C-alpha cells in the first residue's frame, strides 16, 4: 500500500475562494525588532507570573514567566536586552486585560546556551536521530516540551505537554497531524511543510513516542499538492514509510477543524462536550510538531512564529517573527496597505478577530495578519431560510443561537448544544441577512462560562 491515501468524505463544507496569494512565497526571517511586548498569558490555562524584574538583562530563549499550574506554559524572552517595564495590554482575541513585559533590544541577539542533540539541517543520519528519540524517556520528552513553552500552534494554544499526557483510562490509538490549513489566505503551515518538512516529521515521531498510537496520519488538503509530494519524499528518505500515512483530503472549509478531521479520517464522532481523546484520537498541528522537535532535540524554546501577512497590502509575505513583535512592524515590512482598508484581522477571514489598533504583539496563537478591504455589512432580520443549519459541520442550529442571545435566553442555547460549536464561521458566511452569528455564539459561551465560574 502506498504512503498517500486519498480520502473521500461525506462532509460537504464550503468551497471558498482560496486567495492563497502567499503560497509560493518562501518564509522570510523578520529582522529583530528594537523592542518586544510579551503578554504573560499565551495559552489556554493559568496565566504566568514574572520571574524577572524591571531593569533585568535577559537573553533570547531565557524563561521570564512561569506558573505552578499544570495546565499552563512558560513564557520566554524572544530577544536579548533589558526589561524596561511591565504594562497592561488589552487582548483583542478574548477581550481581556493582561499583564505584559516590554524588552528593549541590545542589538546583539544573544541567546541562552542551547544543547543541540542533532543537526537535522546538515545530517542525513536519520537512524541516529531515531535512536536519540527512542532512548529518551517519555517523562523527559514531556518535560522538555513543557519547559520550552510549546502549545498548540494551530490557534487553540492548548499546552502540548498536557495534550500528550492523557489520563490512563484514555487509550489513544490514532494520531493525526493536521496540515489542512483550510481557511482562505493563510499559508504559514503550507510553507512550514515545504521548508521545515524534516523538523515536522521528526517532531511527529517524537509525539508518537509519547503516546504510542497504532495509526499515524498526516492530513493535507489536495490544494497543497507540492506539500504532499515534499512530505512523501521525506517520509521515504527518513525511513518513516512503515509508520506514517499521508491522507489527501478534498479542499473544503472547515476540513481542518479537529472534530471534522477526526470524523473524516476515522469515522468516529467526538461526543457533545467531549474531547478527541474520548474517541482515542489526538490531533496536532504541523507547526506544533516543528516546535516539539526544536524543544526536544535542539533545546530551543518557542520564541518565534511563522505568520502570513496578506490581503490588501503591497507585498504579502510569510514572515518568521519573534513573539512580541507588534503587528504594525510586520505590516510595515510588507509595504503600503490598500486605500480602501476597513480593518485588520488577526487570523483568517472566517475565524479571525478584527482589531482596531496595530500595536498588539504577535503571540503563540498568531498565524496570520489579514489586511481586509470591503464594505461593512449591515445586520438585518433573520428570514428563517435555514442556510446556516444546512451548512453547519457540527449539525447544530445557529439561527436559534442568534435569536436567543438577543433575548438573553442563554440557557436555551445550551439546550441546543451551543458549547459544541467550533466557531468556524460557515453559518455567518452563508447568512443572507448578514447576521454576525459567531459573535453571538462567542457572547453566549462567555456568559455561560462566567455564570458557571
Phi, psi values for residue 44, rounded to 5°: -65, 140
Q: 244: helix, coil or strand?
A: coil
Check whether residue 282 and residue 417 sit in a common domain. no
Check whether residue 275 and residue 300 sit in a common domain. yes
* pLDDT value, residue 11: 73
- Strand order of the β-sheet with 341-346 is 27-29, 317-322, 304-311, 368-373, 341-346, 353-355
Domain termination residue (choose one: 345, 376, 407): 376
* pLDDT value, residue 252: 92
Confirm whether 61 is domain-assigned. no
Instruction: Average pLDDT across each block of 10 residues of the chain; the chain has 453 residues. List them in order.
Output: 73 89 97 95 89 95 96 97 91 74 96 96 94 96 98 92 95 97 97 98 97 97 96 96 95 93 94 91 98 98 98 96 96 85 86 84 94 82 94 92 92 92 93 92 84 70
Check whether residue 292 and residue 412 sit in a common domain. no
Confirm whether 54 is domain-assigned. no
Domain extent for 405: 387-452
Check whether residue 447 and residue 367 sit in a common domain. no
In angstroms, the CA 433 to CA 330 distance is 35
Check whether residue 333 and residue 413 sit in a common domain. no
Domain termination residue (choose one: 344, 376, 408): 376
Confirm whether 216 is domain-assigned. yes
Check whether residue 155 and residue 242 sit in a common domain. yes
Q: How many other C-beta atoms are found inside a 10 Å radius of the C-beta of residue 337?
A: 17
Confirm whether 56 is domain-assigned. no
With b for 16 or more beta-carbon neighbours within 10 A and e for fewer, the 294-328 pattern comes to bbbbbbbbbbbbbbbbbbbbeebbbbbbbbbbbbe
Number of domains in the chain: 2
* pLDDT value, residue 2: 66
* pLDDT value, residue 37: 95
* pLDDT value, residue 122: 92
Amino acid at each position: 500500500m502506498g504512503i498517500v491515501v486519498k480520502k473521500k468524505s461525506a462532509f460537504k463544507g464550503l468551497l471558498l475562494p482560496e486567495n492563497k496569494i502567499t503560497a509560493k512565497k518562501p518564509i522570510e526571517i523578520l529582522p529583530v525588532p528594537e523592542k518586544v511586548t510579551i503578554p504573560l498569558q499565551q495559552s489556554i490555562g493559568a496565566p504566568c507570573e514574572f520571574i524577572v524584574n524591571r531593569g533585568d538583562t535577559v537573553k533570547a530563549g531565557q524563561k521570564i514567566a512561569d506558573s505552578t499550574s499544570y495546565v499552563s506554559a512558560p513564557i520566554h524572552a524572544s530577544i536579548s536586552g533589558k526589561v524596561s517595564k511591565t504594562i497592561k495590554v488589552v487582548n483583542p482575541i478574548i477581550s481581556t486585560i493582561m499583564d505584559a513585559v516590554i524588552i528593549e533590544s541590545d542589538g546583539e541577539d544573544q541567546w541562552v546556551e542551547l544543547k543541540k542533540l542533532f543537526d537535522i539541517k546538515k545530517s542525513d543520519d536519520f537512524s541516529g536521530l531515531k535512536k536519540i528519540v527512542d532512548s529518551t524517556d517519555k517523562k523527559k520528552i514531556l518535560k522538555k516540551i513543557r519547559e520550552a513553552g510549546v502549545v498548540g500552534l494551530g490557534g487553540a494554544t492548548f499546552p502540548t505537554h498536557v495534550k500528550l499526557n492523557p489520563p490512563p483510562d484514555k487509550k489513544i490509538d490514532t494520531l493525526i497531524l493536521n496540515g489542512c490549513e483550510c481557511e482562505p489566505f493563510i499559508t504559514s503551515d503550507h510553507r512550514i511543510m515545504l521548508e521545515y518538512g524534516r523538523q515536522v516529521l521528526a517532531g511527529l515521531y517524537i509525539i508518537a513516542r509519547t503516546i504510542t498510537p497504532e495509526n499515524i496520519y498526516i492530513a493535507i488538503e489536495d490544494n497543497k499538492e507540492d506539500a504532499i509530494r515534499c512530505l512523501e519524499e521525506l517520509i521515504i528518505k527518513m525511513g518513516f514509510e512503515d509508520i506514517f500515512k499521508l491522507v489527501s483530503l478534498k479542499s473544503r472549509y472547515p476540513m481542518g477543524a479537529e472534530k471534522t478531521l477526526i470524523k473524516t479520517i476515522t469515522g468516529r464522532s467526538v461526543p457533545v462536550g467531549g474531547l478527541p481523546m474520548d474517541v482515542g484520537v489526538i490531533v496536532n498541528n504541523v507547526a506544533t510538531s516543528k516546535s516539539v522537535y526544536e524543544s526536544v532535540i535542539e533545546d530551543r524554546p518557542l520564541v518565534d512564529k511563522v505568520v502570513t501577512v496578506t490581503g490588501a497590502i503591497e507585498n504579502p509575505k510569510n514572515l518568521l517573527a519573534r513573539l512580541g513583535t507588534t503587528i504594525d512592524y510586520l505590516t510595515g515590512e510588507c509595504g503600503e496597505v490598500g486605500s480602501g482598508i476597513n480593518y485588520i484581522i488577526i487570523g483568517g477571514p472566517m475565524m479571525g478577530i478584527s482589531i482596531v489598533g496595530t500595536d498588539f504583539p504577535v503571540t503563540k496563537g498568531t498565524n496570520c495578519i489579514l489586511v481586509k478591504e470591503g464594505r461593512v455589512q449591515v445586520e438585518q432580520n433573520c428570514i428563517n431560510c435555514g442556510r446556516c443549519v444546512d451548512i453547519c459541520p457540527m449539525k447544530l442550529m445557529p439561527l436559534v443561537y442568534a435569536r436567543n442571545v438577543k433575548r438573553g435566553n442563554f440557557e436555551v442555547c445550551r439546550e441546543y448544544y451551543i458549547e459544541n460549536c467550533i466557531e468556524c464561521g460557515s453559518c455567518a458566511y452563508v447568512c443572507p441577512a448578514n447576521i454576525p452569528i459567531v459573535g453571538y455564539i462567542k457572547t453566549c459561551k462567555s456568559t455561560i462560562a462566567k455564570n458557571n465560574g
